[in-house]
A and B are shown apart, each in its own frame.
Chain A
Amino acid sequence: EAQVTQNPRYLITVTGKKLTVTCSQNMNHEYMSWYRQDPGLGLRQIYYSMNVEVTDKGDVPEGYKVSRKEKRNFPLILESPSPNQTSLYFCASSLFRASSYNEQFFGPGTRLTVL
């Protein structure tokens, strides 16, 4: 089944304790992206990647890191989480063609609470 998976689905942690949220897709998509969802603000893009070893900042990258060593995986790293990073996080993937938009497929979300 074609899908985007995220782990963990729920996480409660404390300020300053490094964590990684994994994202994996099995559709051979070039493009992957991370969003955070906050009430009243919709989804905002954190980072995106157009292919292996190619990543770039989205609209709200502060406090986050990503890596794209393999095509299927795009982990989100919080080196020193803070309470303002408490949010619902979504990973998405799609094909990438520079001349056109390609539909993004979203993962199930990871609810993160930073105490």
Chain B
Amino acid sequence: AQSVSQHNHHVILSEAASLELGCNYSYGGTVNLFWYVQYPGQHLQLLLKYFSGDPLVKGIKGFEAEFIKSKFSFNLRKPSVQWSDTAEYFCAVNAGAAGNKLTFGGGTRVLVKP
């Protein structure tokens, strides 16, 4: 069965610092990759997605992610965070043969200090 690992459970950083969140998955076939964000008290929002093509994808709010197939990774980055980026971030994978099923990582809580 496929699985998704997010290496950092908690990240604390200051405004204007750069952010990188790791995500690795275990599935050898075609995958669709996602990053979701959950702001405090709110539901999940899609930040960005990768289906095919350019492995560097840009999402909303200045986030980007890079798909490295050889490393089974899909890391999320933002060059300069803001206090409003405080949230929990989830990496998710859809295996090509799994219909619409998403498998999520455990999440990373990010706290940005003003």
Selected contact of B105 from candidates A42, A96, A101, CB within 8 Å: A42
B interface: dominant SS: loop
A96 touches B100 (CB 8 A): yes
Binary flags per residue of B41-56, CB closer than 8 Å to A gives 1, else 0: 0111010010100000
Range of interface residues on chain A?
A: 20 to 34
A40 touches B100 (CB 8 A): no
Selected contact of B100 from candidates A101, A106, A108, CB within 8 Å: A101
- Give the contacts of B40-96 with A (CB-CB under 8 A): 42-44, 46, 49, 51, 90, 92, 94, 96
A104 touches B106 (CB 8 A): no
Counting CB contacts under 8 A, is B110 at the interface?
A: no
Segment of A15-23, A43-51, A71-79 in the binding face: A43-51
State the total of A-B contacts with C-beta under 8 angstroms: 54
Counting CB contacts under 8 A, is B102 at the interface?
A: yes
- Give the contacts of A1-57 with B (CB-CB under 8 A): 31, 33, 35, 39-45, 48, 50
A108 touches B101 (CB 8 A): no
Counting CB contacts under 8 A, is A70 at the interface?
A: no
Selected contact of A103 from candidates B9, B49, B96, B103, CB within 8 Å: B49
CB-CB under 8 A from B90, the residues of chain A are: 42-43
CB-CB under 8 A from A102, the residues of chain B are: 100
User: Residues of A at under 8 Å CB distance from B?
Assistant: 31, 33, 35, 39-45, 48, 50, 58, 90, 94, 96, 98, 101-104, 106-109
